Structure 1
Amino acid sequence: MENLLLLHGALGSAATLSDIQQALLGKYNVYTLDFSGHGGLAIPQQPYSMDLFSKDILKLLDDRGIQQTHIFGYSMGGYAALYFALQYPERVNSIFTLATKFAWSLEAAAKESKMLNPEKVEEKVPQFAHTLSKRHAPQDWKQVMHKTAEMMQHLGATPALTSDNMPQLQIPVLFGIGDRDNMVTIEETIWAYKLLPNASLLVLPATRHPLETVSVTRITSEIEQFTGNKSLHAATI
């Protein structure tokens, strides 16, 4: 069987991908990981960054003896996957991103990081705060949120993926986006799609940003179709 690595989004953990992982067991050698400082792992002193997360991916592949893998990355996980592939193209068969933000600027970063205020989250959406507390225990979820906000601000000043380096990716990449995503625009997804020589575009109907709102049946079917036929297929809009 071929290898498939599932990468979680910002504030997430490997556990958030468990439904997708379970649905694909027996069809792939499925792997997940918790990025540094997520899912209860020790929070590093250094800032969260694509460099740090890329090292996490490399360590997993090396530790497991995985020479090549397909990658599915949700939100920030998709960004990290593409960044990793730029550094280690020989380790990646293909990448499927879903709900990944590409339009990073100082303004966009300020808007995104403003929503990552632990005190306001605790006050206005206590259930989400409780979920994050359990997800990142025994670590402090508030620190995870602060470091994520700092990473976004850094990306706003210095995006890791640009119109200069993105076209270097020669592997097949499928850019997925929900038509009702209120955090990532279809326009920025199309921008990334048009930069790559072997890219496909998938717009999922009636789909919002949160991963739990995405149909597991639909997304696993799309993963199988994409990885089973790595040639360029028509964009679905």
Structure 2
Amino acid sequence: MAVGQEFTRAQDGTSLAFQVAGAGRPLVLLAGQANNHRWWDGAREDFEGAHRTITTDYRGTGASGKPDQPCSTEDFAEDVIAVLDALGIDSADVYGTSMGGRSAQWLAINHPDRVRRLVLGCTSPGGPHAVERDAAVRRALAQPDRDAAERALLELMYSPEWLASHDGPRTVLGDPDMPVHARHHLAASNGHNAWDRLDEICSPTLVLHGADDRMTPASNAELLAQRIPNAEAHVLPGLRHAYFHENRPVASKLVGDFLAR
């Protein structure tokens, strides 16, 4: 189904690009750090039969504005509110993965009336309670050989079996056109800490995670599920950070069934 692109403005005036496809109950899909809406290519289609899917280009990515200023996961959540306001949507289901899951936490905390159901994928509560990636992962991603760093990122996203049988596209590896001056996403993601307020989330919540995720260790799923009232968690065996691509049939069905309740 065709994806249409529109624009609105954030509270600070930054231009925000967003994309809409499908029909039905609104579903906001939030991508990972330093990625634009194409993170969801090959997955959003699973929801378009029952949902009007809404993606965004984070500030700094895609067709959105690229200001050289610090930002936070709370700021990204407020940008989503600006998009919902532009569309005249009072309440939506929200599915956030990785940094998008961090932003989704703030959406549900600060705007409980705007989030009907919440899905948090491959993400963490942040702060001292979170289980962080190990030093070897950090070194692999920071190595100066960019081809080697990209290969390391791919291996964090997908299992060896999946990589051996799929040549691409690689839409979860970051926005290649994101300018250096706008690369504040890492600081935003690292600065996330919603732990003390997670118990305020009142939206029914599903937590999903790949069991073999080293980018954001799977033990964070249990932390979120314990901290958010009445949340349920599913840890998917054999999957890594991009579980929602590698095993679409299982992951999308879990989300679709949860949202249909």
Question: Corresponding residue for 1:147?
Answer: 184
Report if aligned partners of 2:211, 2:237 keep a CA contact under 8 Å in 1. Answer: yes
Q: What is the CA-CA distance between 1:101 and the residue it aligns to?
A: 2.5
Q: Does 1:136 align with 2:179?
A: no
1:177-232 deviations in Å (ceiling 9; x for gaps): 11111122232221111112221111112111135753222222111110112xxx
Partner Cα separation in structure 2 for residue 21 and residue 126 of structure 1: 24
1:30-88 deviations in Å (ceiling 9; x for gaps): 11111111224332222131122012100110001111111111111111011111111
Question: Corresponding residue for 1:10?
Answer: 33
Q: Determine helix, strand or coil for the equivalent of 2:219.
A: helix
Q: Does 1:122 align with 2:146?
A: yes
Partner Cα separation in structure 1 for residue 117 and residue 145 of structure 2: 36
**Structure ranking higher in helix proportion:** 1
Question: Corresponding residue for 2:194?
Answer: 161
Aligned length: 220
Structure 1 pair 45–222 and aligned structure 2 pair: CA distance change class (3 A): same
Question: Corresponding residue for 1:41?
Answer: 64
Q: Does 1:91 align with 2:138?
A: no
Report if aligned partners of 2:77, 2:106 keep a CA contact under 8 Å in 1. Answer: yes
Q: Determine helix, strand or coil for the equivalent of 2:43.
A: helix
Partner Cα separation in structure 1 for residue 252 and residue 132 of structure 2: 30
Q: Determine helix, strand or coil for the equivalent of 1:19.
A: coil
Q: Determine helix, strand or coil for the equivalent of 2:104.
A: helix
1:85-234 paired onto structure 2 within 5 Å: 85-105=108-128, 108=132, 117=142, 120=144, 122=146, 124-125=148-149, 136=175, 138-140=177-179, 142-144=180-182, 146-153=183-190, 155=191, 159-162=192-195, 164-210=196-242, 213-229=245-261
Structure 1 pair 151–113 and aligned structure 2 pair: CA distance change class (3 A): farther
Identity %: 21
Partner Cα separation in structure 1 for residue 246 and residue 209 of structure 2: 10
Q: Determine helix, strand or coil for the equivalent of 1:120.
A: coil
TM-score where L is the length of structure 1: 0.80
Structure 1 pair 32–170 and aligned structure 2 pair: CA distance change class (3 A): same
Structure 1 pair 178–149 and aligned structure 2 pair: CA distance change class (3 A): same
1:113-142 deviations in Å (ceiling 9; x for gaps): 76664x72525236779x68x9635442x4
Comparing 41-50 with 107-116, which one deviates more in the overlay?
107-116
Structure 1 pair 211–124 and aligned structure 2 pair: CA distance change class (3 A): same
Report if aligned partners of 1:74, 1:99 keep a CA contact under 8 Å in 2. Answer: yes
Q: Determine helix, strand or coil for the equivalent of 2:184.
A: helix
Structure 1 pair 97–207 and aligned structure 2 pair: CA distance change class (3 A): same
Partner Cα separation in structure 2 for residue 199 and residue 207 of structure 1: 21
Instruction: List alignment gaps of at least 5 residues for structure 1.
Output: 230-237
Q: What is the CA-CA distance between 1:100 and the residue it aligns to?
A: 0.5
Partner Cα separation in structure 1 for residue 51 and residue 131 of structure 2: 40
Structure 1 pair 115–77 and aligned structure 2 pair: CA distance change class (3 A): farther
Q: What is the CA-CA distance between 1:148 and the residue it aligns to?
A: 2.5
